[in-house]
Amino acid sequence: MRILHVLNDVEAFGNGIVHVAVDTSCLQAEDGHDVSVASAGGAYVDLLQSHGVRHYECVATPRSRTPRALFELARCVTDFRPEVVHCHMVTSLLISQPARLRRPRVRLVSTVHNSFSRSAVLMGLADRVIAVSQAVASDMASRGIDERKIDVIANGPLASPRKIAPPPRQQRSQSRVIVTTVAGMYERKGISDLLTAFDMVSGRFPEAVLTVVGEGPDRSRFQSMADTLSSRDRIKFVGFVADPTPYLSEADVFVLASRADPSPLVIPEARSASCAVIGTRVDGIPEALDQGEAGLLVEPSQPAALAASLERLLSDRRLLAEMQRRAASNLDRFKAERVARETVSVYEAALGGARH
């Protein structure tokens, strides 16, 4: 099958959409498909090419000039002659529409990653729509996308071609307890809720420290907030790291306090590192935590409830160990190869009788 993935860029800046698209492209090529990627480029171009994936320069970003993007993608479609064009962002879907004029049998497939965006409904212009969680599928159907053309493929970042090999497990400290989050520094990620919750319990657990990994436009505000807390000396902001696995491996508890999060890649990564996980009951997080079997679930925007769950884990070593064990089980479904394989099945359904 000839597959063209279209997205804004392939930079290694922690964008989960890019990670999913790069993993899927590489693994589809490994399975024998003819795969290309059209984007503005970035650090993952070399990785793509090492897996036999061609890269076409196409400045398909919201800030790019639309005529230029249309011309570049049209040239790519003419040269590569794809059967399927897989669009991972709204802009890439919009500039891919004329591909049907050049190749009438081509099928457009979109993946809805950020369903909280108002423009996400435009992804329904594709022939088939992939939702990254059942919650996203339900949301898109409620917003008018024909549910008959929606397929659910949950994100799976484990055994990613972006990572050469999993690092050895870190020996966890007996003298301190590490609470960690890995998230973009945006308000919707609930960082302020986590800071408040940690401060609420820190007095009872002087051995506990909080590590905040990630970058974003609201980081300075969160750091300013942390500086006002009684626990400020035990809160560390790390910033962006290309691979947060070492931080996850040494953490005892991982917290994702998001107020909106369709299908976060970091939940399976934290589970793979045997962290006890606390997540909010929002969007795809409960699905990623086996509806609460593999982690504790709390309501979003409720720092007191988050603090209560933190206190449960920090005050009960047996419960902490049990939740770490549960998190590390039932992980096969989070492998990237499963995502790539199921995505090809969606392409086949989209093509139907269009192939000759």
DSSP letters, 147-197, are GGGEEE-----BT-TTSSSPPPPPPPPSS-EEEEEE--S-GGGTHHHHHHH
**12 vs 124: CA distance, rounded Å:** 28
Name 163's Cβ contacts closer than 8 Å, sequence gap at least 6: 243, 245
Q: Are 177 and 356 in contact (CB under 8 A)?
A: no
Q: Which of 339, 10, 331 is nearest to 155 (CA)?
A: 339
- What is the band of 347 on the pLDDT scale with cuts at 50, 70, 90? very high
Is the per-residue pLDDT at 196 higher than 70?
yes
**7 vs 90: CA distance, rounded Å:** 9
Is the per-residue pLDDT at 171 higher than 70?
no
Per-residue model confidence (pLDDT) at position 356: 37
pLDDT in tens, 329-342: 999 999 999 999 99
Per the structure block, which two tokens stand in for 288? 């990623």
Per-residue model confidence (pLDDT) at position 72: 87
Per the structure block, which two tokens stand in for 315? 């005050």
Beta strands in 15-165 (DSSP E): 34-39, 54-57, 84-87, 107-112, 128-131, 150-152
pLDDT in tens, 248-294: 999 999 999 999 999 999 999 999 999 999 999 999 999 999 999 99
Stretch 96-112: mean pLDDT: 88
Is the per-residue pLDDT at 327 higher than 80?
yes
**112 vs 283: CA distance, rounded Å:** 13
pLDDT in tens, 300-318: 999 999 999 999 999 999 9
Q: Are 333 and 16 in contact (CB under 8 A)?
A: no
Maximum average pLDDT range among 70-74, 172-176, 202-206 = 202-206
- What is the band of 165 on the pLDDT scale with cuts at 50, 70, 90? low
**97 vs 101: CA distance, rounded Å:** 8
**351 vs 183: CA distance, rounded Å:** 37
Q: Are 37 and 61 in contact (CB under 8 A)?
A: no
Is the per-residue pLDDT at 67 higher than 80?
no
Per-residue model confidence (pLDDT) at position 355: 45
Per-residue model confidence (pLDDT) at position 70: 83
- What is the band of 136 on the pLDDT scale with cuts at 50, 70, 90? very high
Per the structure block, which two tokens stand in for 80? 């590569």
Q: Are 128 and 106 in contact (CB under 8 A)?
A: no
Per the prediction, the chain carries an average pLDDT of: 93
Per-residue model confidence (pLDDT) at position 203: 96
pLDDT in tens, 41-66: 999 999 999 999 999 998 765 555 56
Is the per-residue pLDDT at 109 higher than 80?
yes
Name 217's Cβ contacts closer than 8 Å, sequence gap at least 6: 185, 186
**209 vs 152: CA distance, rounded Å:** 37
Is the per-residue pLDDT at 20 higher than 60?
yes
- Please state, for a pLDDT cut of 70, what percent of the chain lies above it: 94
Residue pointed to by tokens 């969007």: 283
Q: Which of 282, 275, 280 is nearest to 331 (CA)?
A: 275
pLDDT in tens, 208-236: 999 999 999 999 999 999 999 999 999 99
Is the per-residue pLDDT at 182 higher than 90?
yes
**242 vs 340: CA distance, rounded Å:** 22
Per-residue model confidence (pLDDT) at position 157: 96
Is the per-residue pLDDT at 353 higher than 60?
no
Return the ∠ at Cα 287 (arms to 235 and 160), rounded to 5°.
Answer: 75
Is the per-residue pLDDT at 170 higher than 70?
no
Residue pointed to by tokens 């436009």: 217
Per-residue model confidence (pLDDT) at position 103: 81
Residue 178 CB-half CA count within 13 A: 21
**306 vs 200: CA distance, rounded Å:** 10
Per the structure block, which two tokens stand in for 162? 């972006």
**DSSP code for 122:** G
Per the structure block, which two tokens stand in for 210? 């909080």
Would you say the C-alpha torsion 269, 271, 277, 283 has a positive or negative sign?
positive
